[in-house]
Chains A and B, each alone.
Chain A
Amino acid sequence: MAKIELIRKGAEAYLYKTYMLGIPVIIKHRISKEYRDKVLDYRIRYHRTILEAKIIGTLRLRGLPVPAVLLVDPAKAILVLEYIEGTMLKELISRDIELSKRIFMELGKYIGIMHSESIVHGDLTTSNVIVRQSDNKPFIIDFGLAHYSNDIEDQGVDIHLMLRSLESTHPKHVDVLFKEFLKGYTSVRGEEYTRKLLDKVKEIRMRGRYVEERRLKKI
């Protein structure tokens, strides 16, 4: 029996590192929340577990860098995933801006492909990208809020979330990194669609309470 080590208490799940058949893996356990109604709690955990496994599978087939799913148990809200050895993108930005620029361009490309597959991540932040140590490939993780959608609105929310996580944790590097991200994204989805999507992002930001118009000129 391999050692099981709790490595992270995330917002909705605990992550444990262990070994399965000699491969390093992550056990993702969506924990029951005392603050939620029991029926609601089961509903949320069950559905998110299944959906996450399904979506990761689809993206793997498209060749995107996402951790492989090794086991699914929706009733227990457990997923077993491939372990990615690397650094959170959030931490890399403050350490190596040049490398971060390259990674943001690549990430933009991956998100473009993901959106072409009608998948939205739903929680796209700099905490949910792991840059793999061996080859600096950005692995997209935590598909807990991901879903299938062709709606430009949902895709706009992804872009909005990425932009906002940059604004809130790395205000100094927003412009340069977001530019690279868009370069990558445009290379997959084309100028016209990207323009349309950015208009949607503006609209989403307008809907937030008390947004002033001049703030929107940035994008």
Chain B
Amino acid sequence: MIVLGIESTAHTFGVGIVQDKEPYILADARADYVPEKGGIHPRESSRFLASMAGKVLSEALSEANVKPSEIDAIAVALGPGLGPCLRVGATVARTLSIYLSKPLVPVNHSVAHIEIGLLLTNSRDPVVVYLAGGNTMIVAYNEGRYRVFGETLDIALGNLIDVFAREVGLGPPYVVKGVHVVDKCAEEGGKLLDIPYTVKGQDVSFSGILTAALRLYKKLIAGKADYTLNDICYTVREIAYSMVVEVAERAIAHTGKKEVLLVGGVAASKALQEKFKAMAKYYDVEVKVVPPKYAVDNGVMIAWTGLLAFKHGVTIDPVKAVVRQRWRLDEVDIPWRK
């Protein structure tokens, strides 16, 4: 069975082609929208994605060396994500499905991040820590669905470090040679400043960290501080990452699971991985990290999740395949893990 998957939830137009036997991945084509300054503007990003869609699609088909007729199903991420961007992928997928007379499979982007992580790290039943620009969640499978054990009550971890980097002039770009600029800046720091540590049960809140860090920064540029920007970065990193590790730890204690899997763009942070490894020693838990290439948005994860779903009869009528910007991962039935 061969499935083609399309990702376009935010800043990446990705087309992946996978099959149900090794080597699972047949093609992985992508185009990333990189804003010149500031964050992602949904309209600007969607225009970029639309302009690249055709090229990325044909790249994937030639890389996989399959004819469109050999594909069994078209999978698409219908959410969650940015509306204008989601519509680009949905339009391409609906068109392909109708034109080629292939079934269309709806995929939840967050579930796809988890599934590709499970496949590539050989995890069985982990506590999943999903950290990205727009998501911070602690998730574990239970009774037919991925259940949310904790999440951010306001902004996401990726959002916190990106916005902080931008406001203090460290980025964009936010990631240089695979290292986030805040992580890099923190390496030279070591003084713990006064920034709130906010864990509410299994949930976290990052907005107070951002406010406090920016206040410290203002004091610094006014020349009234006995600390450096490195110390602020160090404190932001220590507090924010420790909060995430603590809530993950609580989920491990609560569920008794024996693996923890880090997925999403922020999972690539070495500093964060070190903290997770140090935590795992206290339990008998194995830490697994999705390879950096598949930690960020890509079409392969959509194709792979689409394949799992399609094998269990999940399809959608192209006419009804509308995008869902706020589609929660705990609303999705996961028949393939039963």
Contact = CB atoms under 8 A, between A and B. Distances in A.
A35 B278 CA distance: 5
A33 B327 CA distance: 36
A131 interface: no
Given A40-B192, A122-B200, A207-B153, A11 B252 contact: yes
Interface string A111-130: 00000000000111101000
B254 A127 contact: yes
A123 B202 contact: yes
Given A40-B242, A210-B328, A212-B328, A35 B197 contact: no
A134 B308 CA distance: 49
A118 B151 CA distance: 25
Interface string B134-153: 11110010110101110111
A3 to B, nearest CB: 24
A123 B204 CA distance: 12
A145 B278 contact: no
A12 to B, nearest CB: 7
Q: How would you classify the secondary structure of chain B's contact residues: helix, strand, loop or mixed?
A: mixed
A68 to B, nearest CB: 24
Interface residues of B, number: 50
B283 interface: yes
Interface string A177-219: 0000000000000000000000000001001111110010000
B254 A157 contact: no
Interface in A21-65: 31, 33-37, 39-40, 43-44
B154 interface: yes
Nearest to A207: B153
A9 B283 contact: yes
Contacts of A172: 143
B249 A11 contact: yes
Given A171-B147, A210-B325, 13 more contacts: A33-B282, A37-B238, A37-B242, A40-B192, A123-B202, A125-B254, A168-B140, A168-B148, A209-B80, A210-B110, A210-B135, A210-B328, A212-B331
Interface of A: 9-12, 31, 33-37, 39-40, 43-44, 122-125, 127, 145, 154, 157, 161, 164-165, 167-169, 171-172, 204, 207-212, 215
